[in-house]
Chains A and B, each alone.
Chain A
Amino acid sequence: MVALACADEDPTGVGGPLVPGGAVRTFEIVLEAEDFLVSDTALGGFVTQGQLLYRVLASGYEGMTAHAVGRFAPAPASVTYVDASGATRTDTLPSYIGGRVVLRLDTLRSVAPGPVRLELHRVGEEWDPASASWTLRVDSGGVQLPWAQPGGTSAALVDTATWDPAGHDSVSFRVDSLTVALWSDTLDATRGAFIRVATPGARLRSPSLILRLDLRPTATNPDTVITTTVGTLGGTFFFDPNPPPGSMLRVGGMPSWRSYFHVQRLDTLVVPCPGEPPESGCVVRLNEATINYAALVLQPDSTPGGLLPDDSLRIEARTVLTVPGVPLARSPLGSRGSAYLAPALAPETFRPGASPGAVEVPLTAFVATLAAGRTEAQGEPPRWFVLYPVVESGLFGFGTFGGLGSPAPPRLRMIVTVATGAEVR
C-alpha cells in the first residue's frame, strides 16, 4: 500500500523559475587566525632516530652535519657450510680473518655534489644505541653521559671508501680481524661502527648497514674462505643543528614534528554574507549552514637548508581527543579532519628564499562537526586538531609554517551553502 499513488520523477533542466522556495546560495568565508584559533604549538618526539629504518649522513650540508653509529651482532660462534665435496659441515671454532661493512644508499634521496668520501671508525666511548644523541652517548632515564666530542667520539679509523652517486647504490669498507673481534665482544660497551662523511656538501640517506664476515673453516683447505653476514643490533644517527620551533609550526622530520591547533567554537559564529552590502542584513550562521569545504590555509616558511624534507611532504589532519590531565602530545588522535589529504608539498616549498603560495590542508569534516555544535548523540565536538605527515617516520627534514603570532598566521577558508526554506506550494 505504501507504493500506491507514489511516483518517481526524472529531473529536468527546464522550469527552474517555477520552483517554489529553496533558493540555494554558496559563499566563501575566510576567517583570520584571531577569529578561529585559540592557540597553536609544534611538538616533537613522536618517532626517534633509533626507531627509523634509515640513517642520514651529512657533512656541512647547508650547515647540517650528521653521523651514524651502529652496533653489529657478534660474529657467529659456529658456522655451517657446504664443502667442496658437497658435504654439510659445521665449524664450531671459526677463525674470522676480516670482513666488510656494506652501507646501502638511497640514490633518490641522497644529495651529493660528486663522489663522496666516507670514513668508518670504531666508536671511542661507551654508548647506548637507543638513546645516543649529538651531545649524549647515553640518555636513558636518569643517566645522561655526554660524548667527549659532540657528534660522537670516534676511535681508530677502520677504512675509508668513496661513493660515486652516478653508478652505485652501496659502498663497502674493509674491516680487519681485530675490529671484527672487538665488535664481537659483547662485554665491550664501546663496540660499534661510527660512520661519517668526509666530503662537504653531501647528505646521504642509507636504508641498511650490514657486516659481511670472512672466515677460514678449520676442517677444510686453508685456501677456502667462507662469508657470513650479520646485521645491527641497534644504531642511530644524530645531526646538528636542530633549531627550536619558536612561533613557527613544523610538520614531519626528526624528531617527528606535529603541529597542534586549538580552535574556538564555531557554532555560534555569525558572519555577514560575503559580497552583500551590510545594510542587506544578510548573515551566515555557521550552525545553520552546510560546510561544503573547509581548509586550514598555511603559509610555508623556510626550513634550515640542511633539514629540508628529503621527499614530498603529505600532511594529514586528525582531531585530537584531549583528556584532562593528559599531556597534549599523549592525547589520542580521533577521526580524520577530512576525507581528503593536502596536496604533496615539494621540498623546495620550504627552501630559504623561496616564495611559495599558501597551502591548504582540508579540514571539512572537523569544521563541519565543530560548526554543528553540541549534539545529543556526539556531545561536545572536539576543538583540537593536529597536522602530521602521512608517513610519520618516512621523511628526514620537516616543513615549516607560520603560526599564531607570526607574520603569516594560519587562516580558515570555508565554502558554505545555505538555503531558504522550502514551501509546500
Chain B
Amino acid sequence: MMRAFSAALLALIVLPAAAGAQSLFSTRGLGVPLEPVDARARALGGIGVGLLGWTGSMVNPAEAAGVYRRGVTAAIQSSRRSVEFEGESDVVGGTRFPVMRAVLPFGERVGVAIGYGGFLDQAWAVRSESVVPIGDREIRAVDQVESSGGVAQGRLDVAYLVTPTLAVGIGAGLYTGRLERVVSRSFPDSVVIDGFRTTAAWNYSGPAVSAGAWWQPLPILRLGASVTWAGELRAEPEEGTTQEVRVDLPLQVAAGASGQLAPGLLAVAGARWAGWSSVADGFGDPDVAADTWEVGGGLEWRGARALGRPFPLRLGARYAKLPFRVQGATPSEWALALGLGSVLARDDLGPRAVVDAAIERGRRGDAAATGLTESFWRLTLSMALFGQ
C-alpha cells in the first residue's frame, strides 16, 4: 500500500506543470471558488455529489460510507488560459492541487475520511511596463504584482451507513491557508538601479461544518445532498501589512443524482448554491459579491475496453456564476468536459488503483459586462489507490 501510494504521489509530482486554472477573476474579492473534486467528478459536471461508484471528492461527507477498503485520492490540475481585457490579450498558465482525500472504513457501516482541498483561489500575477520619469530622464520600469495562495479546507468526515441504501455523514474542519502579495518593480535598462520588492502576507482561518446524505432507492440510482456551514473567515496580517479582514463565509448547499440509463451508461446531474452575498459586510461593500448557482451534469459510458481493461468515457458540461463582481458585473463560467478513466489494478473485491483524467474547454466572463474574458483548457488528473 505504501509503495503504491508513494508511486502515485511521485507520478503526480513529476507531471508537467504547464498551465493553471488560476484566473484574473481571482483579483476580485477572495478569488475564484475551487471545487475539491477529482477528475471523474470534473468530467461529469463538477458538482461531485450523488455519484454512483467511488469518488474522491470531498463535497459530501456521507460519501465515506459504503467504502469497504481504505483508499486515498490525489489530484493535480493544470490549465492554459487566453486572457482578454480591454482589448489586450495574453496566454498564461499555472498549476494547482485541488484535492487529496483518504478514506478508512471501520466495519461495514462506518467510514472516516480526512481530506484537504481547495476552496478559494487567489493565485494570479499581473505584469505591466511603464516609463518612469527620473529627474530629466525617463527609465523603463516593469512592475509585477503577484498573488499566491488562497483559502484551503481541511476536514474530517464521519459517515454511517444507516441501511445498505442510505448513508449519512457529518464533517468538521477548518478553512486555512495563506495569501501572499508581492509587489515588485525592476528597471531592466539599468544595471545600477536596484529593483523594488515588497511583500504582504495574511494567514486565513475559519471553521466549517458539513452534513450530507446519499440514498439509493434503486441499485441503479443514487441521490445525494450536502450542506456546509462556514463561520467567519479571518485574514490575519503576517507580514508587511496591518490590514485584518473578517468575512462571513457562505452557506453552501449541493445536491446531485446519478442513474444508470442503460447497462454501462451512467447519467449524472447536480447543482450547488452558495450564499456569497454574506461576505459583503466584511468588505464594507454591498456589491462586492452575489449568491451563486452552479449546475452541471454528464454521461459516463463504461463499455469502452482496450488491452482487456475498461476505459470509462465521460462527457460533461457545467455552468456557474462566480461570486465576486468584476467591473460591477457578476461573471459566469461554462465548460465542456471530456474524461477518461482506467483501472490500473484490481482484485476480486474491486479496483486497487484507478487513474482518471478530465480535460475541459471553457470560458469565463463577458467582454461587454466585465471587460474581462478568459477561455481555458483545463486538465485534471487524479489517482486513487486502495488497500487490501
Contact = CB atoms under 8 A, between A and B. Distances in A.
A77 to B, nearest CB: 60
Interface residues on B, range: 35 or more
A425 B30 contact: yes
B20 A15 contact: no
A340 B144 CA distance: 25
Nearest to B128: A16
Contact of A7 (B22, B192, B243, B372): B22
A26 B132 contact: yes
Contact of A9 (B146, B190, B194, B326): B146
B183 A22 contact: yes
Contacts of B145: 19, 22, 422
Nearest to B116: A4
B50 interface: no
B150 interface: yes
**Is chain B's binding surface mostly helix, strand, loop or mixed?**
strand
Given A14-B84, A26-B132, A424-B235, A7 B126 contact: no
A292 B95 contact: no
B165 interface: no
A14 B92 CA distance: 10
Contacts of B329: none
B61 interface: no
B196 A419 contact: yes
Interface in A28-64: 28, 30
Interface stretch (B62-70, B133-141, B307-315, B338-346): B133-141
B181 A422 contact: yes
B132 A13 contact: no
A26 B194 CA distance: 12
B179 A415 contact: no
Contact of B243 (A275, A292, A421): A421
Contacts of A11: 92, 125-127, 144, 146
Interface in B14-72: 17, 20-22, 24, 27-30, 34
A290 B194 CA distance: 9
B231 to A, nearest CB: 18
B28 A24 contact: no
Nearest to B25: A18
Nearest to A364: B194
Contact of A19 (B98, B117, B126, B196): B126
A298 B127 CA distance: 37
A7 B116 contact: no
Contacts of B129: 13
Contact of B283 (A19, A362, A419, A425): A425
Contacts of B326: 18
A423 interface: yes
Contacts of B100: 1, 4
A22 B125 CA distance: 13
B149 interface: yes
Contacts of B83: 12, 14-15
Contacts of B34: 5
Interface string B82-115: 0111101110111111111000000000000000
A261 to B, nearest CB: 20
A417 B94 contact: no
A10 interface: yes
B221 to A, nearest CB: 33
Contacts of A3: 97
B218 interface: no
B198 interface: yes
A20 interface: yes
A22 B202 CA distance: 15
Contacts of A417: 185, 196
B177 interface: yes
Contact of A362 (B123, B135, B192): B192
Interface in A337-390: 338, 340, 362, 364
A20 B27 contact: yes
Contact of A14 (B29, B89, B191): B89
A17 interface: yes
A9 B30 contact: no
A293 interface: yes
A417 B187 CA distance: 11
B118 interface: yes
B20 A290 contact: no
A276 interface: no
Nearest to B192: A340
A421 B118 contact: no
A292 B192 CA distance: 8
Contact of A292 (B22, B96, B195): B195
A12 B20 contact: no
Interface string B245-262: 100000000000000000
A326 interface: no
B371 to A, nearest CB: 9
Contact of A8 (B86, B148, B187): B148
Interface of A: 1, 3-22, 24, 26, 28, 30, 275, 290-293, 338, 340, 362, 364, 413, 415, 417, 419, 421-425
- A-B complex: 5 closest residue pairs judged by Cβ atoms: A11-B125, A5-B152, A7-B96, A417-B196, A9-B94
Given A8-B17, A423-B243, 11 more contacts: A1-B100, A4-B152, A5-B34, A8-B123, A17-B86, A24-B196, A26-B196, A290-B198, A292-B195, A292-B196, A415-B134
22 contacts: A5-B150, A11-B146, A12-B83, A12-B125, A14-B83, A15-B27, A15-B83, A17-B85, A18-B85, A18-B126, A19-B126, A22-B181, A24-B143, A24-B183, A24-B196, A290-B197, A292-B193, A292-B194, A417-B196, A422-B198, A422-B200, A425-B30
